[in-house]
Chains A and B, each alone.
Chain A
Amino acid sequence: MSRAGKIARRSFLVGAVAAAGGVAFGVWRYRTPYANPLLAGLNDGEAALTPYVLIRPDGITLITPRADKGQGAYQVQAMLLAEELDVTLDQVSVDPGPPDVAYWNRALAEETAAFLVPGDGLGRDAAETVVSAASKFLGLQITGGSTTTPDGFDKLRAAGASARETLKAAAARATGHATDTLSTKDGAVLLPDGSTLAYTDLAAQLTEVEPVTEVALRQPSEWRLIGHATPRLDMVAKSTGTQGYGIDVELPGMVHATVVLNPAQIGALGSYDTGEAFKISGVQSVVEITGGLGVVADTTWTAFKGARALAVSWPDGPVPPEMDDHWQALSDSFNDDALDSRKRDDGDVDAAIAARAGDVIEAEYRAPYLAHAPLEPVNATVRVDEDSVEIWTGTQIPRFVLANVARITGVAEENITLHVQMIGGSFGHRLEDTVVRHATEIAMQMKGIPIKLTYSREEDMTHDFPRQIAMGRMRGTVRDGRVEAFDLGIAMPSVILSQMARQGQSVPGPDSQIVAGAFEQPFALPHHRVTGYRAPPLAPISSWRSVGASTNGFFYNAGLDELIHAAGADPLEERLRLCNDPLARAVLEAVGEMSDWTGPDPGDGVGRGVAFTKSFGVPCAEVVEVETTDSGLRIRRAWVAAEVGTVVDPLNFENQVAGGVIFGLGHAMNCEITYADGRAEQQNFDSFQAMRLYQTPRIEVRGLENGDRVRGVGEPPVPPAAPALAAAIFAATGTRLREMPFSKFVDFA
């Protein structure tokens, strides 16, 4: 192509980016859209229609910048683009694209705003605006908060529609037909005579037309993909061992590495002796890294063996040594000095409780630290050259990874290439990037050589930043068979503060995660209060699937259950009576109908429990059924209903919901991370098991679509699982469980 042609094409492409920013579609409108990051890599005859659609003569690539950790993010993003672009999923390839501000997450920014200002009023809206704008400039390309679907639902369909109409304009120009006589199907423009022009054949023509930005999105009745079960693009690879993950990266000249970190997490490196390690054939070097040592060897196994042979004298770390210290810190936080938020304060709780002195029901609840423990141990491959760096890793925070590697190496971000890898599970684990830091520190000491760092399972589990520890305290009263007052206080350290501080970010104001899954529940009680207390930093913690709600959903439902029991009411009926939100009511009614609910005690050693949590905007209700057997409690069945506005893919929806229930039940049954002498005690899956196949109940799932906002469902099924199980166990055995994991108090079959 001529120089003039290139200039023309570039102008077109920049214009097209403006279209992609959503100028035509209101919701996604920004005055100055970001530049299209795909432009840099284009060859002649290729076009990047929006930052999400890349058309080359040899194929169509859909850019899916939210990370896939198994939740099907690539699939749902591709479906939303393909819906309007009129391609079938087998005609496209999917690529996570480069880390770029263009891929910032607006939906997450809106949720984050809740940290700043309590309440749902104007103050919060104003804060949303501020944080939204700030996040845009920070370019927070984060995968998290169940936001991939809500963030992409309009944006990606709009990008697909804009690209489709621009392809039609290019076809019109090439053929002389009027645009309104053209249609599109299966990756081609249909001409009036019935012949077709493949999108890929139009790649060069796209430089000649103005981008089309005024495109109305299709009505739901016109959807071909949304709402239909769609075979996943990665299913064949994941069923044949051919799906590559970060841990499988193989590069010419690559060496293998692992780390030995201070068992007292975030403690420093002490004195060490490498003598025994170097006696192992294949161990190449031992280098100092932040908080420990990196061992480089010819295979991962040799590196593991070398690591075990190191003799290190570790100094103490900052984590309080014993669990009693952690629980005491939470217990001591229930006071006005540690008050973080009181976002719910209906009626007059204090007066109601004072009036019933002597009849007040009180209880304390505990939720332990939990590891994320995805099955793929964290890993990163890094090659540091004089003026450039290349990284291969799975991450939910690609922009932070770039910034951190730039800071560590002194190499400018534009000279750092990040190849985002498929992730073998995360549950929030890959919102942290310590493994990349360690790999980079090792690679800086061996310039020009790609090093693949794989944590052993033991290092991964003991140096995870676990789910927060938390404590709930409930007081309440009942009157005339009804719950009258419910006062819930929750104490935990701020998970958002711990997490964001590691990225050099400050988080002003209260942390709504301290009360998430409790303060915003749609129940109208005469006297109702939810208070968050901020405990001091204890162990470093991070977001774990459903974050604050993972502990608070248990506290809230368990407390409410005790009050309902004291009132002599039915746990489902009383929740329905108190419920003041039609969307929430519908999911409660749904699980009642699905389970043929007749009460918590159907007899014959069987018990049933119900729980409800609204989290991430999704009302989710669950009924769990247990039976007592000679070998212990067995979870027989679970029924789940969740309201998400639109079920984008029913198959993936069911997988996410059932998986979330299993995740919630399994950890409630038998998982905890405990500290002794400041060190995590559980190191591997022998002491941190969660649910196995033989323990898995039959699970029935229903998605409701009554609401007008599309929601993500990766996290919301987790919080109600534990309290529904606790309630079922109470119904079956009479044992009231107020602390997780329940295996400390009852036996499971």
Chain B
Amino acid sequence: MKLTVDGTVHDIDVAEDMPLLWVLRDLLGKTGVKYGCGIAQCGACTVHIDGEAVRSCQVPALDVWGAVTTIHGLGTPESPHPVQQAWIETQVAQCGYCQSGQIMQAAALLSEMPDPSDDEIDKALSGNLCRCGTYPRIRAAVRVAAAKLKGA
């Protein structure tokens, strides 16, 4: 089947139960998408399908219903997305392993809800685990990102 990832169409031929996560990581080289738990408890594998944040470990690749955007398609080191810019300015990451998922979740939140309250930020990102405890800076970065997106 055809799978559109970060604007490129791929022909994939995989087992029907193979999760999108592993197609992205092991077949398409999208290693910024992370494996953390495989059971939708950590959020490290979060990508967008048609703009909606989903856990790619839970979606069989053959069931994907729209265009997939990964952390690599959101922005690049040379041209980061405003949410990524906010993450860089706020110096959020420690080990950084969860941050692709955090950023994708935050980007989806802000596209739906440009000016979220503290509670709404907390709720939207509570499925994304961070073992280093970067949560205070994640909160701050979402605010910075919201301001950037409004100004954009």
Interface residues of A (CB under 8 A from B): 69-72, 229, 231-232, 234-245, 247-248, 250, 256, 281-282, 299-302, 304-305, 373-377, 422-427, 454, 456-457, 651, 655-656, 658-663, 666, 684-686, 689-694, 696, 698-699
State which residues 106-150 of B face A: CB under 8 Å: 121-123, 125-139
Interface residues of B (CB under 8 A from A): 15, 17-19, 21-22, 25-27, 29-39, 41-42, 44, 70-72, 75-77, 80, 84, 87-88, 91-100, 103, 121-123, 125-139
Q: Chain B residues with Cβ under 8 A from A377's Cβ? A: 35-36
Q: Tell me if B26 and A686 are in contact (CB < 8 A).
A: no
Q: Tell me if A300 and B135 are in contact (CB < 8 A).
A: no
How many whole Å from B69's CB to the nearest CB in chain A? 11
Q: Chain A residues with Cβ under 8 A from B131's Cβ? A: 373-375, 425, 427, 663, 690
Q: Tell me if A239 and B133 are in contact (CB < 8 A).
A: no
Q: Chain B residues with Cβ under 8 A from A373's Cβ? A: 131
Partner of A659, one of B96, B123, B133: B133
Q: Tell me if B138 and A693 are in contact (CB < 8 A).
A: yes
How many whole Å from B67's CB to the nearest CB in chain A? 17
Q: Chain A residues with Cβ under 8 A from B75's Cβ? A: 240
Q: Chain B residues with Cβ under 8 A from A423's Cβ? A: 95
Task: Say yes or no: A375-B94 contact (C-beta < 8 A), given A236-B88, A241-B70.
Answer: no
Chain B: CB-nearest residue to A241: B32
Q: Tell me if A376 and B31 are in contact (CB < 8 A).
A: no
Q: Tell me if A235 and B93 are in contact (CB < 8 A).
A: yes
Q: Chain B residues with Cβ under 8 A from A282's Cβ? A: 15
Task: Say yes or no: A685-B41 contact (C-beta < 8 A), given A235-B88, A239-B88, A299-B22.
Answer: yes
Task: Say yes or no: A240-B129 contact (C-beta < 8 A), given A72-B94, A300-B22, A696-B136.
Answer: no
Task: Say yes or no: A659-B132 contact (C-beta < 8 A), given A232-B91, A236-B80.
Answer: yes
Q: Chain A residues with Cβ under 8 A from B15's Cβ? A: 281-282, 302
How many whole Å from B41's CB to the nearest CB in chain A? 4
Q: Tell me if B94 and A659 are in contact (CB < 8 A).
A: yes
13 contacts between A and B (CB under 8 A): A236-B77, A238-B93, A239-B96, A240-B32, A240-B84, A241-B70, A242-B76, A256-B26, A424-B95, A655-B137, A693-B125, A696-B139, A699-B136
Q: Roughly how many angstroms separate A377 CA and B38 CA in the complex, as a whole number?
A: 11
Q: Tell me if A240 and B76 are in contact (CB < 8 A).
A: yes
> When A and B form their complex, which 8 residue pairs have the shortest distance between CB atoms, in order from nearest?
A241-B32, A70-B95, A238-B96, A424-B97, A662-B133, A241-B71, A659-B133, A301-B22
Partner of A239, one of B17, B34, B80: B80
Q: Chain B residues with Cβ under 8 A from A690's Cβ? A: 129, 131
Partner of A425, one of B35, B77, B95, B137: B95
Q: Chain A residues with Cβ under 8 A from B38's Cβ? A: 304, 456-457, 684
Q: Chain B residues with Cβ under 8 A from A234's Cβ? A: 93, 96
Chain B: CB-nearest residue to A659: B133
Q: Chain B residues with Cβ under 8 A from A692's Cβ? A: 126-127, 129, 135
Task: Say yes or no: A684-B41 contact (C-beta < 8 A), given A239-B92, A245-B97, A693-B128.
Answer: yes
How many whole Å from B148's CB to the nearest CB in chain A? 13
Task: Say yes or no: A662-B135 contact (C-beta < 8 A), given A256-B26, A300-B22, A424-B97.
Answer: yes
Apart from A239-B93, A240-B76, A376-B36: 15 A-B pairs, beta carbons within 8 A: A70-B93, A229-B91, A281-B15, A300-B22, A301-B22, A301-B26, A302-B15, A302-B18, A422-B96, A423-B95, A658-B136, A663-B131, A684-B39, A692-B126, A696-B139
Task: Say yes or no: A241-B26 contact (C-beta < 8 A), given A232-B91, A234-B93, A651-B91.
Answer: no
Q: Tell me if A663 and B95 are in contact (CB < 8 A).
A: no
Q: Roughly how many angstroms separate A229 CA and B72 CA in the complex, as a whole number?
A: 28
Chain B: CB-nearest residue to A686: B41
Q: Tell me if B71 and A243 are in contact (CB < 8 A).
A: no
Q: Chain B residues with Cβ under 8 A from A281's Cβ? A: 15
How many whole Å from A239's CB to the nearest CB in chain B? 4
Q: Tell me if A685 and B42 are in contact (CB < 8 A).
A: yes
Q: Tell me if B96 and A243 are in contact (CB < 8 A).
A: yes
Q: Chain B residues with Cβ under 8 A from A658's Cβ? A: 133, 136
Q: Roughly how many angstroms separate A233 CA and B94 CA in the complex, as a whole number?
A: 11
Task: Say yes or no: A301-B19 contact (C-beta < 8 A), given A240-B77, A240-B84, A686-B41.
Answer: yes
Q: Roughly how many angstroms separate A185 CA and B87 CA in the complex, as a whole number?
A: 30
Q: Roughly how many angstroms separate A71 CA and B93 CA in the complex, as a whole number?
A: 10
Q: Roughly how many angstroms separate A256 CA and B26 CA in the complex, as a whole number?
A: 9
Q: Roughly how many angstroms separate A69 CA and B27 CA in the complex, as a whole number?
A: 27
Q: Roughly how many angstroms separate A425 CA and B34 CA in the complex, as a whole number?
A: 13
Partner of A70, one of B91, B125, B128, B132: B132
Q: Chain B residues with Cβ under 8 A from A656's Cβ? A: 94
Q: Tell me if B95 and A374 are in contact (CB < 8 A).
A: yes
Which of B25, B26, B33, B139 has most chain A Cβ within 10 Å?
B26
Q: Chain A residues with Cβ under 8 A from B135's Cβ? A: 662, 691-693, 696
